[in-house]
Amino acid sequence: MTPFLELKDVHKSYFLHGKRIDVLRGVSLTIEKGELVSLIGSSGSGKSTFLHVMGTLDAAASGTLRFEGRDVFAMNDAELAELRNQTFGFVFQSHFLLPEFTAAENVAMPGLIRRQDRKACDLRARELLDRVGLLARADHRPGELSGGESQRVALARALMLKPALLLADEPTGNLDPATGEGIHQLLREVNRDLGVTAVVVTHNETLARLMPRRLRISEGRVVTAEG
Amino acid sequence: MKDLRVLFRWLGGALALAGLAAILAGLARREVVGLFSGDLALGVLGWGAFVELLVSFGVAGLYDTVHAAIVSTLPKVKSSGLENLEIWAGLGLWVVGWGLLSQGFTGPEAAASPPSAAVGTPLHPRIAQYRDFHWGTLAAYGLGFLLAEVAMLGLFVLLVGKGAQAGAEGGGLGHVTAFLIAFGLGLLLAALGGFLGAAHSGRLSTPEATIAILYFGLPVPIVLSLMTQVGWLMLHVGVHLREVAYLSAQLGENRPELGYWLVFGALALALVLGLNLGFVATSSGRLDLKLTYESFIANRHVQVFRPRLLLSIFAVLILGIVPPLVLYLIVMAAEQVVERTRIRHLGLKDPLLASEALHALKKRGQTPTAMMTTLSVGGVGVGVMALIIVLSVMSGFELDLQSKILGTNSHGVVLKYGDAMPEWREVMDKIAPVKGLAGQTPFVLNEVMISSDGNISGSMIKGIDPESVGTVTDLPKYLKRDGLDCPSCGKLEWLTTPEKIVRARLTPMGEPMLDEKGGAAVDWPKPERKSGLEDDPLIEAPKPDATKVLPGILLGKELALSLKVQVGDRVNVVSPLGGELGPQGPMPKSRPFKVAGIFYSGMYEYDSKFVYIDLHQAMDFFNLKGPTGLELKFEDVDNARRLTRQIYDLLEGYPYRTRDWGEMNKNLFAALRLEKLVMGIILSVIVIVAAGLIVATVIMLVLEKRKEIAVLKALGVSDGGVVKIFLTEGLQIGIAGGLLGLVAGLGWCLFIEKVGIKLDPQVYYIPALPVRIEAFQTVLSVVVAVLITFLASIYPALEASQVEPVEGLKSE
């Protein structure tokens, strides 16, 4: 059986003033459908880069990434855009909502990009906002939402097209522990109720401990976290 | 090492240039540059001709030997090894220079870091699949462009040819219609080529486009431009394309090249538009021209179509900057006062509400980007408005001039080789059935001198048939003032019935009036002159028949003024060649006429130069057996060329020949058209400046929205989607500006037309600024402006699509 997500020998380097910095040095990893994975690591260990490469936001230098058997690195720009739109969901450290649009419009955006009907998108967006407990704020702009609320809207946006894989890059990094715990709770619910496979990057060990599978990234390689 | 490479580049470039200069100098000194110019040009244009260039230099080296062998009689060029030194040295320098240059670019890069752990792993597929040149794309661009040019020429020639043949049964196409159809096809084909090429490669492929335009597109206009100069081309190509040359030459006096290159530019533009469209439409992996979320996002970004913004820009366009600004400041001040009073009132009830309202008031200011957007819309609007107004006024002048010229002249003439056309009645009957012919009249044209007591003047004299002249020219109308007969301007009928001529007399106020006897046919004798006829001492003996009535003549207003004559006065017409042969050659011939009317065409040239007499008088005076030819009038002026040719064919050519009014006034109208074209191009500069504003605005938008672009890409917007968003933003600005400019321009034109702007008739010979709104050029102005803004926003939109998602997604 083909694995859900498979990374093999992925390398990635940056060049700074002619000096090469190897961020990923041959990462190999397999993730099965429905898993909830936490990825921890110290600052600058390459967690975010790893997540970006996995989400096709950043290009790796070599290696292969297979998603349900498809060679993702061999896809062209158009195919990648479609993959990101329909299969991946992203949540970032900052919410990165579009400031000119209301919460509902932000949530509906992936559907609009897929050229779905505007009305249907709005309906689905409100449903999702209801799920994250923000229906009352549906017509507010991001500037009028608090950090935790924005992050919940961002999560709802990531879930708009029922993604197969949810990638979260320190979703609680800018939030206080209590709010962060709420977001994590939501992530676990999404994983459990909707069956969405999720990879959550965090440097918060206590929160990471709540995840069924824990990975640690160090020296450019991914290992299973102890404890 | 790095510094050395830079040195190599510069030194290599300088050496290669010096070498080329030496070679050219050597060739020039031998006066053989012309011989090798083709090779040199090819060498400059592209690398492919490098070998060709080397061969040409080799031939240049051998030139002396060949030259000496063939033309030994000519002064011999000194032939020695040293003589060729500069060419060979130049060649050497050139090769060395290029060698250095290549070293400067391909020298080894010092390894900065030790080999990475990835050594040995397979190359990343994206890099492995990368291709930097698509032959299919080049083929699509190049063949599309070439096909566009060839199809355009072919279709045009076909349509015009058809038109000329089909004209006999009616229908058929004029030059302009045929051109527009062919041009449309050419634009479509070029755009299609661009679209398919970009769709094939999935990107813009500018190198392919450049090569396609240079190597596939350029030869055609070059051949067309050289057509008239190179005999061989004229023989083999020119004969088939003479209608193309004719239409193109309409643009400028003997400058058909201008037309070719303008069309070439338009086709290149169509190619660029097509390839942009192709890239944008197919970058999501399939054909996708929808603008759903793209326009949704773009609308929120620029917010051009707000009534407040549009209204204020419109006010500025119509009223200028100062009055709306003053109004705006007053309104703003009033609004502020009202608002603050309201807030204070609110504060008395609930301080919280007041602080909220105050906050909202402060937040209402405009962002820099919004200001830029407003300015851009205004800029495009001003450009379009200026284009429309100026072109309409120029059209007005042109129409005025055309109607004056065509009022006096005919749309076409039938002439005969030799001098006269005694069989004119048969010819008239023969061509009468031609469809589209509105009228015809025989005429005699000659040059004479007109003398009166007061003055003398050289004139064109035209013998006309008063019966039918009205069907061809506006002469009967010019003899009236404000559509009414008047005593001071006479009557056309008096040409044939001079005995009815009534003398006009000026009242003390300068007003003309009839004499007391009303319409009685009385010739008032002038007290200072003895009698009407007898005193012509020059040639003819005084005629005994003093009661004979003089034949009538019509003079232009200006001529009458300078001769100081009025209706009923006598003038002498003197022809230097009309008389018998005397001992010293032809004797001048003179005959007196009585002024039967004074016409006013509004065109100084005609009013001061033309006189009309009866056709038979003229034939008699010039000893002609028949009229010079026939003047024709057509229902549609624009068909003149086609119909005159048709009539020519009908008369089976020689000894007859035909000319249309365009040929007769070629230079004047060509100059007018060129002036309009140049004016249009100059005014387009305003639009281009506004387009610069749009570039700046969209760049600012892109900079402002970098993070959002990254987010959109993470959400699955393709590169083409990002381009579409920002192109839509630029286009919205362009369309808003264009429409505002259109409305304001039309408004101004209507104002000029209805209310009028007075001109000094003494200077301009026209009482008010003429204006004529031509739908085609008005629409064209708007379309061109929108096109320019669209082109201008391509660059920033592409920049936007280059934003890497990770770059914008870095956490702050």
**In this complex, do B112 and A94 lie within 8 Å of one another by their Cβ atoms?**
no
Which residues does residue B632 pair with via DSSP β-bridges, in sequence order? Answer: B412, B440
Q: In what order do the strands lie in the sheet with A62-67?
A: A19-31, A5-16, A62-67, A70-71
- The long-range contacts involving B543-549, CB below 8 angstroms and separated by at least 24 positions, are B549/B498, B549/B499, B549/B594
Average pLDDT over residues B213-224: 87
How near does any CA of chain A get to the CA of B212, in Å? 26
Give me B278's structure tokens.
Answer: 């192709």
How near does any CA of chain B get to the CA of A72, in Å? 9
Contact residues, chain B, for A78 at CB < 8 Å: 202, 283-286, 718, 720
pLDDT, residue B235, reads 77
pLDDT, residue B168, reads 41
Is the pLDDT at B733 greater than 80? The verdict is: yes
**In this complex, do A57 and B809 lie within 8 Å of one another by their Cβ atoms?**
yes
For the CA atoms of B399, B405, B408, B411, the dihedral, rounded to the nearest 10 degrees, stands at -90
Contact residues, chain B, for A99 at CB < 8 Å: 708
- pLDDT category of residue B514 using cuts at 50, 70 and 90: very low
Distance CA B621, CA B600 (A): 25
More confident: B502 or B695:
B695
**In this complex, do A101 and B301 lie within 8 Å of one another by their Cβ atoms?**
no
Q: State pLDDT tens for residues B580-636.
A: 777 777 777 888 888 888 888 877 888 888 888 888 888 888 888 888 888 888 887
- pLDDT category of residue A198 using cuts at 50, 70 and 90: very high
Of A6, A13, A18, nearest in space to A60 by CA: A13
How near does any CA of chain A get to the CA of B92, in Å? 38
How near does any CA of chain B get to the CA of A227, in Å? 29
Lowest mean pLDDT, pick from B96-110, B127-141, B366-380: B96-110
Contact residues, chain A, for B806 at CB < 8 Å: 52, 57-58
pLDDT, residue B693, reads 84
Could you tell me the end-to-end alpha-carbon distance of chain A, in angstroms, rounded to an integer? 30
Q: Considering only the beta carbons, identify the residue of A15, A62, A86 that sits closest to B716.
A: A86
**According to DSSP H, which parts of B443-510 are helical?**
475-478
Contact residues, chain B, for A110 at CB < 8 Å: 715-716
Q: Distance of CA A95 to CAs A14, A133, A142, B463, Å?
A: 26, 17, 9, 91
pLDDT, residue B527, reads 43
Distance CA B782, CA B740 (A): 10
Q: Considering only the beta carbons, identify the residue of A59, A60, A96 that sits closest to B809.
A: A96
Is the pLDDT at B187 greater than 90? The verdict is: yes
Contact residues, chain B, for A15 at CB < 8 Å: 112
Q: State pLDDT tens for residues B280-293.
A: 888 777 777 778 88
Which residues does residue A214 pair with via DSSP β-bridges, in sequence order? Answer: A38
| Smallest CA–CA distance from A161 into chain B, residue | B715
Contact residues, chain B, for A97 at CB < 8 Å: 711
pLDDT, residue B148, reads 94
Contact residues, chain A, for B115 at CB < 8 Å: none
More confident: B653 or B520:
B653
In contact, B605 and B558? CB cutoff 8 Å = no
What percentage of chain B carries pLDDT values higher than 90? 10
* Mutation site, B287, B715, B803, B809, interface A, largest A CB count within 10 A: B715
**In this complex, do B714 and A58 lie within 8 Å of one another by their Cβ atoms?**
no
**The CATH number of domain A34-60+75-224 is 3.40.50.300:** yes
- pLDDT category of residue B504 using cuts at 50, 70 and 90: low
Q: Distance of CA B272 to CAs A46, B192, B196, B210, Å?
A: 43, 10, 12, 10
How near does any CA of chain B get to the CA of A195, in Å? 20
Is the torsion defined by CA of A101, A103, A108, A110 positive or negative?
positive
Distance CA B137, CA B202 (A): 9
DSSP B762: H
Distance CA B587, CA B581 (A): 6
Is the torsion defined by CA of B203, B207, B210, B215 positive or negative?
negative
- A with B: how many residue pairs have Cβ under 8 Å apart? 134
Distance CA A151, CA A93 (A): 8
**In this complex, do A82 and B121 lie within 8 Å of one another by their Cβ atoms?**
no
Is the pLDDT at B82 greater than 80? The verdict is: no
ipTM score of complex = 0.94
In contact, A59 and B806? CB cutoff 8 Å = no
**In this complex, do A26 and B117 lie within 8 Å of one another by their Cβ atoms?**
yes
**In this complex, do A74 and B284 lie within 8 Å of one another by their Cβ atoms?**
no
Is the torsion defined by CA of B138, B140, B141, B144 positive or negative?
positive
How near does any CA of chain B get to the CA of A56, in Å? 9
Q: Distance of CA B120 to CAs A14, A63, B4, B629, Å?
A: 19, 11, 32, 93
Distance CA A121, CA A102 (A): 13
Give me A156's structure tokens.
Answer: 């709802």
**In this complex, do A84 and B283 lie within 8 Å of one another by their Cβ atoms?**
no
Of B234, B230, B241, nearest in space to B263 by CA: B241
- pLDDT category of residue B513 using cuts at 50, 70 and 90: very low
In contact, B27 and B33? CB cutoff 8 Å = yes
Q: Could you tell me whether strands B585-586 and B412-416 are parallel, antiparallel, or unpaired per DSSP bridges?
A: unpaired
pLDDT, residue B520, reads 38
For the beta carbon of residue B500, count every other beta carbon within 10 angstroms. 15
Is the pLDDT at B521 greater than 50? The verdict is: no
- pLDDT category of residue B196 using cuts at 50, 70 and 90: very high
Q: State pLDDT tens for residues B538-588.
A: 544 444 444 567 888 888 888 888 888 888 888 888 887 766 777 777 777
In terms of residues, how long is chain A? 227
Contact residues, chain A, for B719 at CB < 8 Å: 77, 81
DSSP B768: B
| Smallest CA–CA distance from B801 into chain A, residue | A77
Of B572, B657, B565, B670, nearest in space to B613 by CA: B572
DSSP B73: S
Question: Radius of gyration over alpha carbons of chain B, in Å?
Answer: 38
Distance CA B736, CA B380 (A): 8
Q: Distance of CA B408 to CAs B2, B188, B401, B470, B672, Å?
A: 78, 42, 11, 10, 19
In contact, B555 and B567? CB cutoff 8 Å = no
Give me A44's structure tokens.
Answer: 């600058």
Contact residues, chain A, for B295 at CB < 8 Å: none
**In this complex, do B714 and A90 lie within 8 Å of one another by their Cβ atoms?**
yes
Q: State pLDDT tens for residues B475-487.
A: 888 887 766 777 7
**In this complex, do B121 and A112 lie within 8 Å of one another by their Cβ atoms?**
no
**Sequence ranges of the domains in chain A:** 34-60+75-224
- In whole numbers, what is the pLDDT of chain B averaged over residues? 79
How near does any CA of chain A get to the CA of B112, in Å? 6
Q: State pLDDT tens for residues A81-126.
A: 899 999 999 998 888 899 889 999 999 999 999 989 999 999 999 9
Distance CA B305, CA B148 (A): 37
Q: Which amino acid is at A9?
A: D
Is the pLDDT at B528 greater than 50? The verdict is: no
Please state whether the peptide bond connecting residue A3 to the residue before it is cis, i.e. omega within 30 degrees of 0: no
pLDDT, residue B578, reads 61
Residues of B with CB under 8 A from a CB of A: 112-113, 116-118, 121-126, 129, 202, 283-286, 290, 292-293, 296-297, 300-301, 707-708, 710-721, 804-806, 809, 811-812
Q: Considering only the beta carbons, identify the residue of A18, A26, A83 that sits closest to B112.
A: A18
* Mutation site, A50, A96, A116, interface B, largest B CB count within 10 A: A96
- pLDDT category of residue B270 using cuts at 50, 70 and 90: very high
**In this complex, do B124 and A62 lie within 8 Å of one another by their Cβ atoms?**
yes
**In this complex, do A109 and B293 lie within 8 Å of one another by their Cβ atoms?**
yes
For the beta carbon of residue B396, count every other beta carbon within 10 angstroms. 21
**In this complex, do A19 and B113 lie within 8 Å of one another by their Cβ atoms?**
yes
DSSP B469: G
Is the pLDDT at A13 greater than 70? The verdict is: yes
DSSP B434: -
**In this complex, do A92 and B811 lie within 8 Å of one another by their Cβ atoms?**
yes
Vertex B809 angle, CA B803 and B810, to 5°: 115
pLDDT, residue B478, reads 83
**In this complex, do B715 and A110 lie within 8 Å of one another by their Cβ atoms?**
yes
Distance CA B129, CA B683 (A): 47
Q: Could you tell me whether strands B610-614 and B581-582 are parallel, antiparallel, or unpaired per DSSP bridges?
A: unpaired
**In this complex, do B716 and A71 lie within 8 Å of one another by their Cβ atoms?**
no
Could you tell me the end-to-end alpha-carbon distance of chain B, in angstroms, rounded to an integer? 39
pLDDT, residue B543, reads 47
Is the pLDDT at B745 greater than 90? The verdict is: yes
Q: Considering only the beta carbons, identify the residue of B121, B283, B806 that sits closest to A52.
A: B806
Q: State pLDDT tens for residues A59-82.
A: 888 888 999 888 888 888 888 889
- pLDDT category of residue B741 using cuts at 50, 70 and 90: very high
Give me B294's structure tokens.
Answer: 């793209």
Lowest mean pLDDT, pick from A2-6, A180-184, B290-294: B290-294
Q: Could you tell me whether strands A221-224 and B610-614 are parallel, antiparallel, or unpaired per DSSP bridges?
A: unpaired
**In this complex, do B121 and A92 lie within 8 Å of one another by their Cβ atoms?**
no
Contact residues, chain B, for A61 at CB < 8 Å: 118, 124
More confident: B353 or A88:
A88
Q: State pLDDT tens for residues B434-474.
A: 777 888 888 888 888 888 887 888 888 888 888 888 788 88
**Sequence ranges of the domains in chain B:** 2-71+79-107, 133-289, 291-320+367-408+665-812, 322-365, 410-510+547-662
Name the one residue in this structure whose structure tokens are 């159809």: B181
**In this complex, do B716 and A81 lie within 8 Å of one another by their Cβ atoms?**
yes
Contact residues, chain B, for A59 at CB < 8 Å: 124, 126
**In this complex, do A78 and B714 lie within 8 Å of one another by their Cβ atoms?**
no
Q: Distance of CA B575 to CAs B309, B415, B555, B595, Å?
A: 71, 22, 16, 18
